[in-house]
A = this chain, B = another copy of it.
Amino acid sequence: MSKLDEALAELKYDERGLIPAIVVDTESKQVLMMAWMNAEALKMTLQTGRTHFWSRSRQKFWMKGESSGHVQEVRGVYLDCDADTLLIEVVQHGAACHEGYRSCFFRRLGEDGTWETVAEKVFDPEDVYGRGGEGHTPPKR
């Protein structure tokens, strides 16, 4: 078993074989998104240097940016104390959110008790993903 295999064997996947991966911008440290990896998606991520995830709704692998071009170049992989959550530092091309925002966390709970959009869109989803044509549906997690 290689050192890397040993390191990866420490990870604690949940009962579905998944581990949450928090993706942050390597420069601003902003949290961009959270998605799920299985062991294979993590291997693909490490081998290619681009983030790959497992889609629970579609039951398939997806590479971030596969349809939008908004790929994430991996700069660092961190593990938490319980070994059950990953944090991935990336250079984000374009934006992380399929709704056009830099980060998926663009809504903040306001003092009036409603979700307020607190970010500006950096792209128009229709320009990037088309108007719902087949093969252009944004990757769902």
- Which A positions have Cβ atoms within 8 angstroms of B? 2-4, 6-7, 10, 20, 22, 24, 28-31, 33-34, 46, 76-82, 84-85, 87, 97-99, 101, 104-109, 112-115, 118, 140-141
Kindly state the separation between the CA atoms of A97 and B80 in the bound complex, as whole angstroms: 9
Q: Are B109 and A81 in contact (CB under 8 A)?
A: no
By Cβ-Cβ distance, the 10 closest A-B pairs, closest first, are A4-B113, A3-B113, A80-B104, A78-B105, A77-B109, A29-B29, A34-B85, A87-B105, A81-B104, A79-B107
Residues from chain B with Cβ under 8 Å of A99 in the complex: 81
Residues from chain B with Cβ under 8 Å of A80 in the complex: 33-34, 97, 104-105, 107
Interface centre among A4, A28, A34, A98 (most CB of B within 10 A): A34
Interface centre among A31, A101, A141 (most CB of B within 10 A): A31
Question: Given A31-B22, A113-B3 in contact, is the A81-B108 Cβ separation under 8 Å?
Answer: no
A100 CB to nearest B CB, Å: 10
Residues from chain B with Cβ under 8 Å of A141 in the complex: 82, 84
Kindly state the separation between the CA atoms of A105 and B24 in the bound complex, as whole angstroms: 12
